[in-house]
Amino acid sequence: MNTPTTPPPDAPLPWASGPYSIKRHGVSLTNCDSEPVQTPGCIQAHGALLVLRLSDLTILQVSENSVEFFGETPKALAGRKVERVVGAEGAARLREVIDRAPIERNSLHAFTLPARGAAGTLDVCVHRVEDVAVVECEATGRGEEGAAVDYFRGVKAAVGQMQAANGLREFCRRLAEEVRALSGQDRVMIYRFHADLHGEVFAEAKREDLAPWLGLHYPESDIPRPAREIFKSLWIRPLPNAAGPLVELVPLANPDTGRPLNMTHCALRGASVMYSEYLANMGVAASLTLPILRDGELWGLIACHHYTPTHFPYQLRAACELLAQVATLQLKSAEQSEQLVYRLRPEGVHQQLVTKAAQDGELMALTDRQPSLLDAMEAGGAALYQLDRWWCVGKTPEPAQLDALAEWLHARPDFASATRPVFVTDSLARDYPASASYADAASGVLAVPLSRARRDMIVWFRPETIQTVNWGGNPHEKPLVTGPHGPRLTPRRSFELFTESVRQRSLPWSDVEVDSALRLRLLVMELVVARAERLAELNADLTRSNEELDAFAYVASHDLKEPLRGIHRYAHQLLESAQTLDDENRKRVEGLMRLTVRMDSLLDSLLHFSRVGRTTLEFVEVDLNEVVEEALEMVGARRSDGTFTVAVPRPLPSLRCDRVRVREIFSNLLSNALKYSAPAPPRIEVGYIGPEENAPRPNAPAESAGHAIFFVRDSGIGIESRHFEQIFRMFKRLHGRDEYGGGVGAGLAIVQKLVQRHGGRVWVDSAVGVGSTFYFTLQGKETRAPA
Amino acid sequence: MNRAPAATILVLEDCDEDFETVLDAARLAGVTYNFRRVTTGDECIAILRDCAQAVAPVLVLLDLNTPQGDGREALRYIKEHERLRSVPLVVLTTSANPRDLDFCYDCGANAYHVKPVRHNEHLRVLEEIFYYWLRAVALPQEQEALTWKGNSPAPSV
C-alpha cells in the first residue's frame, strides 16, 4: 500500500468507540472491508432526513441541512412533533402509512410536500427501522405536474421486452436498454458476479460516444464485501452526485437508544468515500445501482453511470426498482433456459464426438476432427491419452509434462473414485507445484479417467485467468483524476493488485462442465465396452466357425471314405475270384483299387491341411538339432544305404516354436529332397543363416530380414523358376502321378501353412539339374546361437 | 475258445459292406460266436437293455456314426451300466477326429480303430481284434456264468 493516508495496521477503528460519521472520521484502504456502511452517520446533501420516534412521531434526529429544506435548524426541530415540519395533514398521512403499510426495509412514498419558501416541492418517503420512522425528503424534480414522465407505461413496455428475451444474455441486454431508456443514464451495465466473486460486464447499454465496457472483468475488491452484503437487503442505491457534499445527522446517535441510525434502506445514505472516489477517478459523477438476486444471493448488479451530477426522483427510482425486481424474478427462468442450452451444447457435441469415434473405431477422432474435445468445453486445450500416447488439441503442456501429470493424477484417490472419478481444479500449481512452469496454459484442469488398466484419460486445460479475460484494468490505463487516496482507487491499480491474486489460477469449472465431462467419460467407456463386446462376439463366432469347419472336414472325410472302402472291398473280391478275370480286366480292377487308395490319401492330406491352419500352436524352446534328427528318422534318411548323404555342417540354434509342426516342416522338405533326386546319389544339406550373418539370401522376401533363415538343400532335379510360386499350392504336382515316388502334392502346401502359422515365410531357389534349396523363417522369435 | 459257443458278438454297423467285412474277418479268424447286428444306436441300446437282465455279449464292435442315436450313445450306455461295463468294447470307425478318439476313451472304450480303406488291411485289423479280445486277453470270470439268450442265428462259418 503506497498511499499516505493509510494508518498503521493496528490503529483503532474509528467506529469502534462511539457514533461514527464518514464525513468526520473517513475511512482508509485497510479498514474499508469492515467499514460500517450501514451507519455512516451522514446523508447526501441533496435531501433532508428526519428520524421520528415511532410512538409519537417526535423528531429525534435531523440532518444538519434542515434549514435549507424546512427553514429551521436541527436544534430548533429536536424534540418537536413532526407536524412542525409537514403540517397536521402530513403528520396524519405519515401516521397512516406507518401504521398500515409494510414499510420495514422498504421506503414508501407518503406524500408530496408543496414548495415553501426556498425549498421546492419535496417527495416525502418513509420507512421503519426498529423503533423509529425514517422520513426522507428530496426534490421531486418536477417543475410542473404536466411534464411528469409516464413511468408506468415505460415499465410496462420494459417488462414486455424482457419477457420476450431468449436466453440470459439477451435478457440482460434488454434489461440494460430498458433501464437506460427509463433513467436516461449515460451507461447502464449488467454486472455479473462470478463464482470467485470477481465481476464481468455481462450486458451494456450506453451513450454512443462512450467506449464499451462490455466483457470487461473487474476484480473482487472493486466491490468490497460490506457493499455486496448491503445489496442483499436493499433494492436501490442512488448516488446522484458522487462528489457532492455529505451532511451529518444531529445528533449522530439516537437520543432514545444511544445508537447510530441504521441507514441501510435510506435512499439518501451517504456513500463510502472509497466508492465515491473510485467513481470520481473513473470520471463518473453519478451512479444508480440496483441488485439482482438469485436464491437470496447477489447474482449481479444493474449499474448506471452518469458523467454529470444528476437527479434520481422518487418515481424514477421506483420504476427502476420495479424493473430490478422483475429481473430478479425472471432471472432464474432465463438462467435455467440458458443453462439448459449450455448443458445441451456439450451434450450434443459430445454425442457427435462419440458417434464419430464409433464410426472411425478410434478415439483419436476426439482430438483431430471437427468438432473436437474443445468445442463443447470452454478450455484452451485438451489431451487424450490412448494407445500409450497423448493426442492433443489446442494449447496443452508438453507430452513429458503430461506424463508426469498423469502419474500424479493416477495416484489421487478422487481420480479412482467409483462414483465420480474426476479431478478438477482452478489452480493446478497450488495442488501440484511441478505444474507452475506451464501455468499459463494449464492453471485449470478437468480430468476424467477412461480406463484404469490402460491408464487412458481425457484432460481439459484452462489457461491462467490473466490470459483469458479482458480485465477492466486495461482500458483504464490512465487514471482520469486521482483523489486523496492516490492511484489505489482506480480500476488500473486494483487490476494490478488483483493480477497477483489470480496468478496461476484459471476461471473455475462450472458444475455443468464437470457433469458434462463425466457423461462424456461414460459415453466413451460404453463405446469401449461395446467394442470389446463386439470383438468377443467376433472371436466367439470365429471359434465356432473354426469348430464347425473342423467337424465338417472330419464328417466330409468320413462320409467320402466309407464308399471308398466299399469299392475297394468289391474290387478286392473281384480280384480274389481270379478265374473270372483275364489279364486285361485284372489290371483294370487293380487300377480301381489303386485309385481308391490314392483317393484315401488325398482325403487324409486335405483333412490334415485344413487342420494345420486352425489348430493352436504350442510354443516352447526347441533344440532344432533334435527336431532335424527326428525328421530324418521319420523319412528314413537315417537308414542310409550309401545312395545318399545328409549333412548338417554346423549345429542349429534353439528356437521358440511348435516342436511337432517344425518337425513336420523338416520332414516334408527332407522327404522331397530324397524324392526328387537326379540319377546321381543325392547330397542333402540342412543349415541356417544367422540374422547378422553376411551370406547370400537368394529370393529372400523382405519380411525375412532380421530373422534366422533355415534351409534344406538338395542336389536333385531342380525346379524351373516359373514354378517357384505354384509348387506351394495344394495338390500341385509338377510331375506324373507315379513319378518320383508319387504323392498327392500336399507336402509343400502344408509346409507353407505351418511356416505361416509361425509368422514366417518359405521360398525356394533352384536350378534345373543342379538342385533346389528351400528356405524358411520362423519369424518374430529370437534365435539363440547354440552353446 | 474259452467261452461258451452260445455267447454272442454284438455289432453296431450301418454299412452293409463293412458288416460283410466283419463276417469275412470272423470266418478267417475262425470265430464261432453268434453275431448280432444292429444298425442304429437306439436299437443297440434296446437289445442291451434286455440282455442286461440276462446275459451280456462277449464283445461289442461299435461304429460311431450311425443313424438314430449313434454309436456314442450306445458306448455311453454300455459303460455307464454296471453289468455291461466289463464287456470288451471296440470302436471301429472311419473317423480319425481326435475329438472322437478322446470322447471314446473318456467314456471307457477298450480300443479305438480307424477302418482302413484297403480291404486287406481292414480284414487284418478285424482279425487282430478278434484274436486279441476273444483269445489273448484275460477277462473277468463272472462273464462266463451268464447265458446269452439272443435269438439271432450264428453266422454260417
The three grid cell numbers given for residue B155, joined into one nine-digit string: 453266422
Report yes or no on B144 lying in a domain: no
| Residue A685 contacts residue A650 (beta carbons within 8 Å) | no
Residue of chain A with shortest Cα separation from B19: A566
Q: In B, which residues are within 8 Å of A569 by CB distance?
A: 17, 20-21, 119, 122
Alpha-carbon span B138 to B118, nearest angstrom: 30
Q: In A, which residues are within 8 Å of B119 by CB distance?
A: 565, 568-569, 571-573, 593
CB-based contact, A551 to chain B, within 8 Å: yes
Q: Give how far the C-alpha of residue A451 lies from the chain's centroid of Cα atoms, to the nearest Å.
A: 16
H helix and E strand count, chain B: 6, 5
Residues composing chain B: 157
The DSSP H or E segment spanning A756 is helix A747-757
User: Edge-to-edge strand order for the sheet containing A216-218?
Assistant: A237-239, A286-294, A297-306, A187-193, A199-206, A216-218, A470-471
Report yes or no on B37 lying in a domain: yes
Alpha-carbon span B116 to B5, nearest angstrom: 29
Report yes or no on B145 lying in a domain: no
Q: Which of A258, A269, A249, A235 is nearest to A51 (CA)?
A: A249
Up-side HSE of residue B22: CA atoms within 13 Å toward CB? 27
Q: Do B15 and A562 touch (CB under 8 A)?
A: yes
Read off the CATH number of the domain in which B106 is found. 3.40.50.2300
Select the residue of A570, A573, A597 nearest B118 (Cβ to Cβ).
Answer: A597
Output the furthest CA–CA distance in chain B (Å, rounded): 40
Select the residue of A554, A572, A597 nearest B95 (Cβ to Cβ).
Answer: A554
CB-based contact, A569 to chain B, within 8 Å: yes
Q: Do B122 and A565 touch (CB under 8 A)?
A: yes
The DSSP H or E segment spanning A421 is none
Q: How far is B143 from chain A (nearest CA, A)?
A: 34
Select the residue of B17, B96, B100 nearest A565 (Cβ to Cβ).
Answer: B17
Alpha carbon separation from A304 to A131, A156, A285, A477, A510 (Å, rounded): 33, 20, 11, 21, 29
Work out the percent of chain A whose per-residue pLDDT is above 70.
87
Domain around B78: 8-136
pLDDT of residue A27: 59
Q: Do B15 and A554 touch (CB under 8 A)?
A: no
Output the furthest CA–CA distance in chain A (Å, rounded): 164
Alpha carbon separation from A394 to A122, A347, A593 (Å, rounded): 62, 20, 79
Q: Which of A346, A354, A348 is nearest to A527 (CA)?
A: A354
Return the number of other C-beta atoms located less than 10 Å from residue A593's C-beta: 22
pLDDT in tens, A416-460: 888 889 999 988 998 899 998 998 889 999 999 987 666 889 999
**The CA-based dihedral angle spanning residues B90, B94, B100, B103, taken in that order and rounded to the nearest 10 degrees:** -10
Residue B144 carries which side chain, given as an amino acid letter?
A: E
| A71 backbone φψ class: left, alpha, beta (φ>0; ψ -120 to 50) | left
Q: How far is B136 from chain A (nearest CA, A)?
A: 28
| Residue A662 contacts residue A737 (beta carbons within 8 Å) | no
**Cβ contacts of A94 within 8 Å, gap of 6 or more:** A52, A57, A82, A86, A110, A124, A126, A133, A135
pLDDT in tens, A353-388: 888 777 776 777 777 777 788 887 888 899 988 877
ipTM entry: 0.74
**Which 8-state DSSP code applies to residue A104?**
B
Select the residue of B17, B97, B116 nearest A566 (Cβ to Cβ).
Answer: B17
Report yes or no on B99 lying in a domain: yes
Q: Give how far the C-alpha of residue A431 lies from the chain's centroid of Cα atoms, to the nearest Å.
A: 19
**Cβ contacts of B64 within 8 Å, gap of 6 or more:** B70, B71, B72, B75, B91, B93, B95, B100, B104
Look at the domain A618-777 and name its fold. Heat Shock Protein 90 (3.30.565)
Say which residue, A102 or B91, is predicted with more confidence. Answer: B91
pLDDT in tens, B11-67: 999 888 899 999 999 999 999 898 999 998 888 888 888 765 567 889 999 998 887
This prediction has a pTM of 0.51
Residue A699 carries which side chain, given as an amino acid letter?
A: N
Alpha-carbon span A504 to A169, nearest angstrom: 29
Beta-carbon contacts below 8 Å between A and B: 54
Burial of residue A419 (number of CB atoms within 10 Å: 0-12, 13-18, 19+)? exposed
Residue of chain B with shortest Cα separation from A600: B117
Q: Give how far the C-alpha of residue A667 lies from the chain's centroid of Cα atoms, to the nearest Å.
A: 62
pLDDT of residue B109: 94
The three grid cell numbers given for residue A219, joined into one nine-digit string: 476484480
The three grid cell numbers given for residue B133, joined into one nine-digit string: 479280445
Up-side HSE of residue A619: CA atoms within 13 Å toward CB? 11
Q: Which of A229, A301, A220 is nearest to A35 (CA)?
A: A229
Alpha-carbon span B93 to B105, nearest angstrom: 14
Report yes or no on B1 lying in a domain: no
Domain boundaries A378-509, CATH class: alpha beta
Alpha-carbon span A91 to A82, nearest angstrom: 6
Place of cell 451507461: A187
Place of cell 443313424: B67
Alpha-carbon span A697 to A694, nearest angstrom: 9
Portion 93-112 of B in contact with A at CB < 8 A:
93-97, 100
Alpha-carbon span A475 to A214, nearest angstrom: 11
Q: In B, which residues are within 8 Å of A576 by CB distance?
A: none
The domains of chain A are located at 42-146, 378-509, 539-610, 618-777
H helices present in B33-81, as ranges? 41-53, 71-80
Alpha-carbon span B130 to B147, nearest angstrom: 20
Predicted confidence (pLDDT) at residue B152 exceeds the cutoff of 50: no
Over the Cα atoms of chain A, what is R_g?
49
Alpha carbon separation from A204 to A155, A187, A304 (Å, rounded): 18, 7, 10
CB-based contact, B85 to chain A, within 8 Å: no
**Fold agreement (A378-509, A618-777):** no
| Residue B77 contacts residue B52 (beta carbons within 8 Å) | no
CB-based contact, B63 to chain A, within 8 Å: no
| ∠ CA A369-A371-A375, rounded to 5° | 130
**The CA-based dihedral angle spanning residues A633, A637, A639, A644, taken in that order and rounded to the nearest 10 degrees:** -160
User: Edge-to-edge strand order for the sheet containing A108-113?
Assistant: A42-44, A246-250, A59-63, A47-53, A132-139, A122-129, A108-113
Q: What total of structural domains would you count in chain B? A: 1
Select the residue of B94, B97, B120 nearest A572 (Cβ to Cβ).
Answer: B120
Select the residue of B95, B96, B118 nearest A568 (Cβ to Cβ).
Answer: B118
The DSSP H or E segment spanning B149 is none
pLDDT of residue A477: 46
Interface test with A, best of B91, B117, B120 (most A CBs within 10 A): B117
| Residue A442 contacts residue A461 (beta carbons within 8 Å) | yes
CB-based contact, A561 to chain B, within 8 Å: yes
- Assigned CATH for A42-146: 3.30.450.20
Alpha-carbon span A23 to A758, nearest angstrom: 96
Residue of chain A with shortest Cα separation from B99: A551
Profile chain A (787 residues) by mean pLDDT over runs of 10 residues: 41 61 66 69 91 92 90 90 89 89 81 79 89 89 55 83 82 92 92 84 91 80 78 86 88 88 87 78 88 88 93 87 87 76 77 79 72 83 86 90 92 86 90 89 91 82 73 49 54 59 78 87 83 83 78 79 88 81 83 86 82 80 91 74 80 90 91 82 89 87 86 90 84 73 80 89 91 86 37
Q: In B, which residues are within 8 Å of A566 by CB distance?
A: 15, 17-18
The three grid cell numbers given for residue A487, joined into one nine-digit string: 492511484
Portion 23-62 of B in contact with A at CB < 8 A:
none
Three-class SS state of A507: coil
Alpha-carbon span B130 to B154, nearest angstrom: 16
Select the residue of B65, B95, B117 nearest A564 (Cβ to Cβ).
Answer: B117
